[in-house]
Amino acid sequence: MFCSTLRAVLLVLFVASVLRVGDCWGSMSLINRCFMPIDSGKCRGYFIRFGYDSETDKCIPFVYGGCRGNRNNFFTNEQCMQRCYMKFK
């Protein structure tokens, strides 16, 4: 009885710690995403996207080529503002 209870408690603690670490990594990826340089990528497509510019503290439009680049790449200005601008105020 004691061993099964101990295993259950340890399992709960382990799962809770993994979830907490996941929250931390999620926040870090958001910070990293917003502060990555705006990158058009390597391809030659022409897609208007928005990226957060930490120097001007604004989301600005740029041409995305369609591949590669990085995660500082949003479909709309509103999406960029929601993800980056408000998070660091």
Q: How far apart are alpha carbons 77 and 81 in whole angstroms?
A: 6
46 in helix, strand or coil? coil
Q: Is the pTM of this model over 0.95?
A: no
Per-residue pLDDT of the chain (89 residues; tens, 9 = 90+): 767 775 655 555 555 554 444 444 455 565 689 999 999 999 999 999 999 998 999 999 999 999 999 999 999 999 999 999 765 55
Q: How far apart are alpha carbons 60 and 27 in whole angstroms?
A: 22
Looking at domain 2-88, its CATH superfamily turns out to be Pancreatic trypsin inhibitor Kunitz domain (4.10.410.10)
Neighbours of 41 (CB within 10 A): 17
